[in-house]
């Protein structure tokens, strides 16, 4: 089933001189874990904003083309209607937490929707548990570390039980270990709950093992779109400067020096598997 | 700054902290009204004393004393002005003038005292909830709690900017009064720009979490008035009735006269 379908999206911010998006078309199926990547300023955040209606409803301007998210035409629905289906987690966790303590923040979206109190209680507990932060429920946001704040931000969106979760560089403020933990949480939501994930990410080394669909953008356009191994091994990805996973890079170097590997590894486990096979071939 | 120090909430779990903010606010209003009803020293001393048990039950003595110390300066000014003008009018004898002036500054202290007990024992989120349940528009309550939430963040940011500007050679403590104020401009501008950017991001995040989806917002928490809240309200009403009765029907003696007897 198709959850997100964009056709020919073109958008310029009001007062902007350049097109932030240019003829973007993508299709995302239910349950996919999509990584969206590309150089700075290429329009990744703008595309995320299209997915929950911030563009054009909040930012104004005209969005050309068509985008359907869970069957809803984004331009014809209010942001709060879309919020039931699409959750957006922003880059800076600090500015998306506005309550005085965690539990209240996680409840915020449900309160806005007018969900009955017992139901809010249940869903808040569930979201805290899924993101492993039950122990933080009484804390104030400024008493939390970046990684904890980021998990709270995820819980806030998760509590609304969206079909799609869009995360805009959820680990940009974190060290590699913190990033790993966030990826594990997101992957769990993807696998166990079947939530479709769209994640903007630069740390492909860490993130690509969870993904089954990679989209690369450049200058407002989608330049590559497909399975991780195909995208990462393409020449275009290297030229744009996408941080290709080391395992894939290694295989490219080996191929260039004449070693036939047979398939393209993305994670280090796959790489070691492939190398073992090659070594035992003789 | 120190007056506000006394007004800043710290976590606690005393019976006073557990009281409903609405009941406590009612008590503050009553204190306020009663303090304004009297300009004699004796009843104001009584008002001052009856609040002290609250302070000790809530275990906020230290903060409370700090708030009083902060208020002392203003109290002295109030005393000075009252003394000067009543004495210069030449209609009263000195002991009366002294007592009256002292009463005026004590009235101010009593007001600070009751407000500080209120703010020292009421968490901002309880206060926000109480506002919401008192049918204050939700936008206003939200603005209030969000402001409180960002105070520490902005304070930290101000410190960072200050340090950054100092390393670039900005000297804050230099020059005369006007110069010193102007020294703060390179700190205020980045602070304000940052705050505006932050507020845009906040607005985006709020929209994304269904802000404004329905008129009938629900709330995870409800404040319920408990027995102790009713007791406090009842005591406040009694105090008010008693005060009005004394004001209308009984003469209030000068404290000096009472003590001499
Ligand atoms: N609020 C805005 N108003 C005007 N122009 C904007 C706004 N936000 C982004 N842009 C412009 O739109 C283009 C795409 O920006 P966008 O933020 O989507 O890029 P990005 O891929 O998310 O970059 P980064 O990796 O740095 O986050 C850029 O040229 C940017 O200058
Ligand atoms: Mg971005």
Across A32-43, average pLDDT: 95
Does residue A116 fall inside a structural domain?
yes
Q: What is the atom index within ligand 1 of the atom nearest the CA of A59?
A: 1
Work out the average pLDDT over B158-164: 90
List, as ranges, residues with CB under 5 A of the ion ligand 2: A 45
Give the whole-number percent of chain A exceeding pLDDT 90.
70
Tokens 């073109």, residue located: A10
pTM of full prediction above 0.95: no
Residues B113 and B230 in one domain: yes
Tens digits of residue pLDDT in B109-141: 999 989 888 988 888 888 999 998 998 999 999
A104 in the same domain as A69: no
B49 & B154 share domain: no
- Across A30-34, B47-51, B85-89, least confident range: B85-89
Q: Please give the pLDDT value at position B2.
A: 43
Which of A161, A183, A209 lies at the terminal end of a domain, its last residue? A161
Provide the domain limits for residue A155.
87-161
- Residue A69 sits in the same domain as residue A1: yes
Report the CATH number at residue A204.
3.40.50.300
Residues B152-169: what's their mean pLDDT? 88
Does B158 lie in the same domain as B106? no
Shared domain check, A73 and A30: yes
Residues A78 and A207 grouped into a single domain: yes
Task: Provide the mean pLDDT of chain B.
Answer: 87
Residue B234 · residue B26 · CB < 8 Å: no
Residues B186, B57 share a domain: no
The predicted-structure confidence for B202-251, as pLDDT tens digits, reads as follows 999 999 999 999 888 899 999 999 999 999 999 999 999 999 999 998 88
Query: Do A106 and A138 have their domain in common?
Result: yes
Give domain status of residue B178, yes or no. Answer: yes
B52: left (phi over 0), alpha (psi -120 to 50) or beta: alpha
Which residue would you say has higher pLDDT here, A127 or B215? Answer: A127
* A259 domain-assigned: no
Measured over the CA atoms of residue B184, residue B188, residue B191 and residue B193, the dihedral's sign is negative
Do residues A43 and A57 share a domain? yes
Q: Are residues B146 and B245 in the same domain?
A: no
Region B82-102: mean pLDDT is 85
Task: Select the more confidently predicted residue: A148 or B67.
Answer: A148
Select from A58, A79, A116 the Cβ nearest to the Cβ of B218: A116
Residues B239, B183 within the same domain: no
**Does residue B4 register a pLDDT over 60?**
no
Q: How close is the nearest chain A Cα to the Cα of B115, in Å?
A: 22
Cβ-Cβ contacts under 8 Å between A and B: the total is 108
Residues B233 and B203 in one domain: no
Which of the listed residues B211, B232, B250 is the one where a domain comes to its end?
B211
Q: Which residues pair with A27 in a beta bridge?
A: A5
Residue A56 covered by a domain: yes
Question: Would you say residue B5 lies in a domain?
Answer: yes
Is residue B129 in a domain? no
Residue B118 shares a structural domain with residue B230: yes
Chain A interface with B: residues with Cβ < 8 Å: 52, 54, 57-58, 78-81, 83-84, 87-88, 90, 92, 94-101, 103-104, 107-117, 120-121, 124, 140-142, 156-157, 160
Residue B73 within a domain: yes
The answer to whether residues B193 and B237 belong to one domain is no
Residue B226: what pLDDT? 92
Ligand 1 nearest atom to the CA of residue A169, by list position: 27
B4 & B105 share domain: yes
**What confidence score (pLDDT) does residue A179 get?**
92
CA distance, residue A114 to nearest chain B CA (Å) = 5
Burial class (CB in 10 A: 0-12, 13-18, 19+), B18: middle
pLDDT at A29: 96
Total number of domains constituting chain A: 2
* Domain interval for residue B178: 137-211
Together in a domain, A212 and A145: no
pLDDT of the residue at B177: 83
Strands laid side by side in the A213-218 sheet: A86-89, A164-168, A196-200, A33-37, A213-218, A221-226
Q: Please report whether residue B130 resides in a domain.
A: no
Residues B50, B14 share a domain: yes
Reported confidence tier of residue B261, pLDDT bands at 50, 70, 90:
low
For a mutational test of ligand 1's pocket, the pick from A16, A40, A50, A173, i.e. the residue with the most ligand atoms closer than 8 A to its C-beta, is: A16
For chain A, the three-class secondary structure string (H helix, E strand, C coil) is: CEEEEEEEEEECCCCCCCCCEEEEEEEEECCCEEEEECCCCCCHHHHHHHHCCHHHHHCCCCEEEEEEECCEEHHHCCHHHHCCCEEEECCCHHHHCCCCCHHHHHHHHHHHHCCCHHHHHHHHHHHHHHCCCHHHCCCCHHHCCHHHHHHHHHHHHHCCCCCEEEEECCCCCCCHHHHHHHHHHHHHHHHHHCCEEEEECCCHHHHHHHCCEEEEEECCEEEEEECHHHHHHCHHHHHHCCCCCHHHHHHHHHHHCCCCCCCCCCCHHHHHHHHHHHHHHC
B103, part of any domain: yes
Residue A262 domain-assigned (yes or no): no
Amino acid B87: pLDDT: 82
Both A68 and A102 in a single domain?
no
The ligand 1 atom nearest the CA atom of A48: 18
State the total domains in chain B.
2
Contact by Cβ (8 Å): A236, A198: no
Q: Are residues B67 and B179 in the same domain?
A: no
pLDDT of residue B3: 47
Instruction: Report residue A35: phi and psi, to 5°.
Output: -105, 130
Instruction: Return the top range by mean pLDDT from A160-169, B53-62, B95-104, B242-251.
Output: A160-169
Of A109, A152, A157, A97, the C-alpha closest to B152 is A97
What ipTM was assigned to the predicted interfaces of this complex?
0.89
Whether A70 contacts A195, CB under 8 Å:
no
**B106 pLDDT more than 70:** yes
Q: Per-residue pLDDT averaged across A167-184, rounded?
A: 91
Give the tens place of pLDDT for each residue, B33-80: 999 999 888 899 999 999 999 899 988 888 888 888 888 899 999 999
Which of A22-26, A47-51, A166-170, A255-259 bottoms out in mean pLDDT, i.e. has the lowest?
Answer: A255-259
Residues A9 and A79 in one domain: yes
Same structural domain, A80 and A201: yes
Residue B77 lies inside a defined structural domain of this protein? yes
- pLDDT: is B170 or B51 the higher one? B51
* pLDDT tens per residue, range A186-220: 999 999 999 999 999 998 988 989 999 999 999 99
Residue B116, in any domain of the structure: yes
Residue that terminates a domain, selected from A106, A136, A161: A161
Mean pLDDT of B165-172: 85
Residues A8 and A33 in one domain: yes
- Residues ≥6 apart with Cβ < 8 Å to A44: A36, A37, A38, A168, A200, A217
Contact residues, chain B, for A95 at CB < 8 Å? 198, 201-202, 205
For A53-97, how does the pLDDT look when each residue is reduced to its tens digit (9 = 90+)? 998 999 998 899 999 999 999 989 999 999 999 999 999 999 999
């Amino acid at each position: 089933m198709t959850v997100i379908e964009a056709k020919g999206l073109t958008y310029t911010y009001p007062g902007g001189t350049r097109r932030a998006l240019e003829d973007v078309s993508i299709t995302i199926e239910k349950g996919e874990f999509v990584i969206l990547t590309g150089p700075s300023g290429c329009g990744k955040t703008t595309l995320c904003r299209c997915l929950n209606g911030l563009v054009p409803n909040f930012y104004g301007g005209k969005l050309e083309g068509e985008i359907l998210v869970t069957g809803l035409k984004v331009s014809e629905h209010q942001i709060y209607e879309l919020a039931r289906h699409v959750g957006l987690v922003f880059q800076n966790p600090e500015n998306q937490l506005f309550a005085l303590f965690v539990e209240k923040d996680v409840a915020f979206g449900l309160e806005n929707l007018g969900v009955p109190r017992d139901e809010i209680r249940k869903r808040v507990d569930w979201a805290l548990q899924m993101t492993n932060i039950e122990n933080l429920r009484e804390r104030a946001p400024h008493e939390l570390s970046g990684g904890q704040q980021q998990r709270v931000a995820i819980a806030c969106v998760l509590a609304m039980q969206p079909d799609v979760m869009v995360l805009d560089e959820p680990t940009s403020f974190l060290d590699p270990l913190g990033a790993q933990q966030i990826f594990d949480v997101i992957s769990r939501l993807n696998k166990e709950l079947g939530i479709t994930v769209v994640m903007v990410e630069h740390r492909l080394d860490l993130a690509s093992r969870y993904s089954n669909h990679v989209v690369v953008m450049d200058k407002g356009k989608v330049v590559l779109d497909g399975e991780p191994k195909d995208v990462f091994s393409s020449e275009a990805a290297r030229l744009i400067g996408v941080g290709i996973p080391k395992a894939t890079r290694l295989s490219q170097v080996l191929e260039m020096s004449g070693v036939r590997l047979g398939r393209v590894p993305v994670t280090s486990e796959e790489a070691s598997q492939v190398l073992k096979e090659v070594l035992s071939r003789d | 700054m120190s007056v506000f120090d006394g007004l800043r909430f710290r976590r606690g779990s005393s019976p006073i902290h557990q009281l409903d903010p609405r009941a406590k606010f009612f008590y503050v209003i009553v204190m306020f009204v009663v303090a304004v009803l009297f300009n004699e020293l004796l009843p104001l001393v009584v008002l001052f004393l009856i609040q002290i048990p609250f302070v000790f039950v809530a275990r906020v003595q230290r903060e409370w004393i700090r708030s009083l110390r902060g208020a002392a300066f203003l109290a002295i000014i109030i005393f000075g002005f009252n003394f000067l003008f009543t004495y210069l009018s030449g209609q009263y004898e000195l002991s009366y003038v002294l007592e009256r002036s002292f009463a005026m500054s004590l009235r101010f202290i009593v007001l600070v005292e009751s407000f500080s007990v209120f703010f020292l024992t009421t968490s901002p989120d309880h206060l926000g909830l109480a506002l919401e349940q008192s049918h204050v528009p939700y936008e206003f309550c939200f603005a209030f709690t969000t402001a409180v939430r960002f105070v520490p963040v902005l304070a930290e940011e101000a410190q960072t900017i200050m340090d950054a500007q100092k390393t670039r050679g900005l000297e804050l403590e230099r020059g005369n009064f006007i110069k010193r104020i102007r020294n703060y401009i390179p700190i205020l501008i980045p602070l304000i720009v940052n705050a505006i950017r932050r507020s845009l991001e906040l607005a985006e995040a709020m929209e994304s979490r269904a802000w404004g989806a329905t008129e009938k917002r629900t709330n995870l928490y409800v404040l319920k008035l408990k027995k102790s809240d009713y007791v406090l309200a009842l005591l406040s009403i009694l105090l008010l009735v008693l005060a009005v009765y004394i004001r209308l029907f009984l003469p209030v003696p000068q404290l000096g006269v009472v003590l001499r007897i």
